[in-house]
Structures are given as structure tokens and as C-alpha cells.
Structure 1
Amino acid sequence: MANFTTMSGFLLMGFSGKPEIEMLFAALFLVLVALVGNILIITTTSMDHSLSSPMYFFLKHLSFLDLCYISVMVPRSICNSFMHNGYISLWECILQCFAFTLCGCAEIALLTVMSYDRYVAICLPLCYEVIMDISTCVHGVLAVWTSGILGGVMHTAATFSIHFYGANIIHQFFCDVPQLLKLSCSNEYVGELGVSGFFSLVAFVCFISIGVTYMHIFSTVLRIPSAEGRARAFSTIFLPYLLIIVLTGI
């Protein structure tokens, strides 16, 4: 086993000692989840003009983020399995770490924006078109990507500002930040822990916001006097949204 004592790169250990199994599962995951599911959603919401509402606009970006997640991790894992070599260069690892954290931060922000969209649609239906106009949607998506880029830059900068030692072996199939921190010298990882703590707090606030939002949505739907109205609210607005979120792997 190679010993990368210099900062030239890392050795990804992958899932198991059988590269053929790794490549099979990675390929199936890539094709079934990414190519079939998310591309179908993106294509459908882009071509069907009846799906031009803000919900499907945000859903298209959510599917794109899922594709980015898969593209960051799976193709490299397939390549390593095929080449029987888990080596990844330093700059490739930095780029992978940045892209992965970018997608994670952006996805949490996007789910928060989408929950607000559902809140306005169900709790303030008469004001929906005024509040969730094209300008609001575009600004929401810009805020999502800005938060993702900011999170990616801060995490990556804090992670790779530390010094690594030993064999530089990562017991994962991609450059995972917790695994990288295990290779750090002394207490140099404190800065990354501070960044992780800050974004964990932000993520916690986002999840609380999403939870409170859906509590208001459920409360509003349950106050609808007719059973038919409640069923329509769940079937046409709320349940399809949750179903698609589950199917896209969130």
C-alpha cells in the first residue's frame, strides 16, 4: 500500500475489498437514482408549461442538486474501482470536498425556501401569486446557491488549512471532512470544528423553521370545514411535494 506522507494526495479505501461489487452498486445507484429519477424530473418540469409554478421551479433545482451530489462522489468511485487504484490528488480532493459541502448547504437552504413556498400556497392562497412571483423565486434560488458557495468555501478552507500526517488514508469512498480531520496534526482541526458548529447551528435553525412551517400547514388544512377541501389540499398541494422529496432521495 502506498504511503503518501507528503501532501500530494490521499488513498480512498472505498466500501470493500472487492472492486467489482463497488463498481456494480455505484453504477446502479448512479443510473437508477440520478439519471432516471432526477433527470426525468428536470426534463418534465422544464418542458411541461403546466408545471411552471414556483413549487416545480424549486423542485427542478432540488433535482439538480441531487445530480450534483451523485456526480461528486459516484463517478470517481467507479473510476477508482475500475482502475483498482484509490489514489486521489490533493486538488481533486479539495474540489470534491468543496462541491460536496456546497451541495449540502445549498440543499438545506433550498428545503427551507420550498417549505415557505408551501406555507404561502396553503396558508395564504389569495396572496400566493403576489408573494411568490418570479422575482421572489429567482432571489430565493440565488440565496440558496450563495449560501452553498459560502459554506463550501468556509468548510474547504478550514479543512485544508491543517497539516496532515501518516499514510493519508481516507476510510471512505470520497474525501469526507470527518475522515480528513482524523489525519490532522494536534489541535489544528479546531478551526474546522468551529465552522462545522456554526453551520450545524444554521442547519438546526433551518430544520426548526421547516418543522414550524409544516405545523402551520397541517393546522390550516385541518381547519378547512369540508372533508373534500382537506383532501384536495393534501392531494394537490402537500402530499405530491413530500412524495417527490422522498423519491429524489432527500
Structure 2
Amino acid sequence: MVEDNDTFAPGFILLGFTNREDLQVMCFVLFLAIYAVTLIGNLVVFTLIRINSCLHTPMYFFLSHLSLLDVCYSSTIIPQALWNFLVEKKVVSFVRCATQLFSFATCATTECYMLAAMAYDRYMAICNPLLYSVVMSRRLCVGMLAGAYLAGVISSTIHTVSIFRLPFCRSKRINHFFCDGPPLLALSCSDAHANEAVVSAVVGFNILSTTVFILVSYLSVLSTVLQIRSAAGRHKAFSTCASHFVSVVLYYGSAVFIYLHPGSGRSLEHDKVVSTLYSVVVPMLNPLIYSLRNTDMKKAMRKAKGRVLSSLSTHGSWPPCRGEKG
């Protein structure tokens, strides 16, 4: 009877992680804390880069947009998840589900190409430093950024249309905490192999092409760095790439596990847990990784902190008494 009622439901039902109320409260608190840290961390990074003229370089241009993208990325998923932790009927309409899938796929694909652009920037800075300022012009950076978003929109359109043109005449229960591709494909009552192949081809092309590009860029960087005789020079070169490489490994590792392993042997329960890594945790960790590992970001944070404290001491304190040194 539950299956029949779900079949005629006006939308989808997101099963989430658990039905236990105490665990749902814990999940709500955890996701809310992660979302708060994600918003604050990424907006701080974005603001620091915008207000600090020393950070107006191609590397930080892409980093600022990566932070802005992570805010949009997490905002397509976490608010819906938070709402579902609080309500009994976790129903999401067809339109809202399709919109969430489209927005999520756009942000995820754009981030792949953004990370590739950042890898190319590091390649030019370390392997071709004399040509860096000429090649990495503002026009090229804006063009690469626009290309990343265009690739994201095209890919997500194909992704969303391929899934939502299928008939969903089985149970409308999505074994996930948001509308993702694999659990939606599992609900189709028709032969979805062709659609699954299209989705896998699009996602596979995006992941593999950007992965190869990033690996080639960093192998070239590694080769150049190892030729630097100065230990201080090698350390500086490695430190400028370390944070970006850590972010790439976390993001791509979990995404490849979800989308590029065989569908017949997959477990939606495992996918649900692993998908939290690239969709929820990585956007939170990115600003921490870049701010903790990057010397320029640390300097910018100290400078901003000094300005805030100076402003507070100037405008928020009592004026000194006469005869007292101020």
C-alpha cells in the first residue's frame, strides 16, 4: 500500500539518512553547522580577495570565483536537506527536483573546469614565469571563467533532460538526501540503459578531460620544481600548489566513485554517504585549505584583522582624558 501511494504521489519523497527523530536532530545540527562554516569561510575568502589589492592576480581571481561557486553549490543542497530533517513528509515536487539536479550539476561541472583553470594558472606561473603576465591576461581569465560556466550549463542541461524524460511509474522514493542522478535513474520503470550511458558519458568526459589536464599540468610543475636548486625555492613552489592539489584530490576522488563505477554493483546507501564528501564537506574545507596553506591568504587575513581592530579601537573606545596619553 505504501508503494502504491508513493506511485501516485505528486512529487518525489527524499528518504534522507534515517527515520529516527533523535538522529534527524543530530543530522540537522551537523548540516547546519557545516552550512554556516561553508558560507562564512567562502564569503570571507571572497571578500579578502576583493578588498586586498595584493591578491588581484589570476590565481586569486579563480579562487574568489571558486569560493562563490562553493556557496552556490552548497546552497542548492543543504537548505533542502535541513528542511527535510524537520518535516515528517519529505516531499519535493518534480519541478523543484529537476531544478535542484540542474543547479547541482551546473555547479559541480563548473567546479571541475574551474579547478582545471587554476591548474593551468599554476603551470604558467611556475613553468613559464617570464610569459606569465602576458599569457594570463584578464581577458583570458574571464574567458576561461565564462567557458567553465558554459560547460557547466550545457552538461547539466543534457544531464537533467536525459533523466527527466524517463517515466517514473515505480515508487517515488529517492534513496538520497537530494535529487541526484543515480538514485533518480534507479526509479525509472523503463529501460534506462541508454539514458544512463548518456549521463555517464557526459560526466565521464567532464571528469576525465579535466583530470588529465590537471595531472599533465602538475606533472609539468613537479618536473620544473625538482630542477630548482634552492630548497627555499622548491618549498615556495610546492606551497603555492599544495592547497589546490589537496582540494582536487578530495573533490575528484569522491565524484569518480559516485559516477564512474559500474551501476550494477553500486550501493545507493554507500553512494549517499560518499556524496556528502564532494557535495557538502569539500565546499566547507576549501576555504580552510586555502587559508591555512597559503601564505598570501594568511597575510591578508592578518591585515584585515588589524584593520578591524584598529577601527574598533578608534571608533569604539572612550576618548582619552586630558593630560593622559592617548
TM-score range, shorter chain: over 0.9
After superposition, where does 1:17-56 map in structure 2 within 5 Å?
17=19, 18=21, 19-32=24-37, 34-56=38-60
Pairwise CA RMSD: 2.0
In the superposition, the TM-score normalised over structure 2's length comes to 0.72
Give 1:129 deviation, angstroms: 0.6
Give 1:196 deviation, angstroms: 2.0
Write the letter of the residue equivalent to 1:150: I
Q: Higher mean Cα deviation, 115-124 or 102-111?
A: 102-111
Residue-by-residue CA offset, 1:89-128 (whole Å, 9 max, x unaligned): 1100000000111111111111111100000000000100
Larger Rg: 2
Query: What does residue 127 of structure 1 align with?
Result: 131
In the superposition, the TM-score normalised over structure 1's length comes to 0.92
Gaps of 5+ in 1: none
Query: What does residue 84 of structure 1 align with?
Result: 88
Pair 1:38–1:155, CA change in 2 (3 A): same
Contact 2:110 2:149 in 1 (8 A): yes
Q: Higher mean Cα deviation, 79-88 or 68-77?
A: 79-88
1:14 to 13, 16, 33: 16
Query: What does residue 241 of structure 2 align with?
Result: 238
Contact 2:167 2:190 in 1 (8 A): no
Give 1:69 deviation, angstroms: 1.8
Query: What does residue 5 of structure 1 align with?
Result: 7
Pair 1:189–1:208, CA change in 2 (3 A): same
Instruction: Determine what percentage of the aligned residue pairs are the same residue.
Output: 35
Residue-by-residue CA offset, 1:200-223 (whole Å, 9 max, x unaligned): 033112101111110110110110
Separation in structure 2 between the aligned mates of residue 4 and residue 89 of structure 1, nearest angstrom: 13
Higher RCO (Cα < 8 Å, 6 or more apart): 1
Q: Is it true that 1:97 corresponds to 2:111 in the alignment?
A: no
Query: What does residue 248 of structure 1 align with?
Result: 286
Separation in structure 2 between the aligned mates of residue 224 and residue 171 of structure 1, nearest angstrom: 52
Q: Which runs of 4+ in 1 moved over 3 A?
A: 239-247
Contact 1:159 1:180 in 2 (8 A): yes
Separation in structure 2 between the aligned mates of residue 152 and residue 232 of structure 1, nearest angstrom: 38
Residue-by-residue CA offset, 1:155-208 (whole Å, 9 max, x unaligned): 000000000022200011101111011111231352242232233033112101
Query: What does residue 310 of structure 2 align with?
Result: none
Residue-by-residue CA offset, 1:25-53 (whole Å, 9 max, x unaligned): 21011012x12221111111111111100
Write the letter of the residue equivalent to 1:26: F
Separation in structure 2 between the aligned mates of residue 185 and residue 154 of structure 1, nearest angstrom: 20
Contact 1:181 1:189 in 2 (8 A): no
Pair 1:130–1:7, CA change in 2 (3 A): farther
Contact 1:155 1:192 in 2 (8 A): no
Q: Higher mean Cα deviation, 237-246 or 205-214?
A: 237-246
Contact 2:110 2:152 in 1 (8 A): yes
Gaps of 5+ in 2: 251-284, 290-326
Contact 1:55 1:117 in 2 (8 A): yes
Contact 1:98 1:152 in 2 (8 A): yes
Residue 77 of structure 2 aligns to a residue whose secondary structure is helix
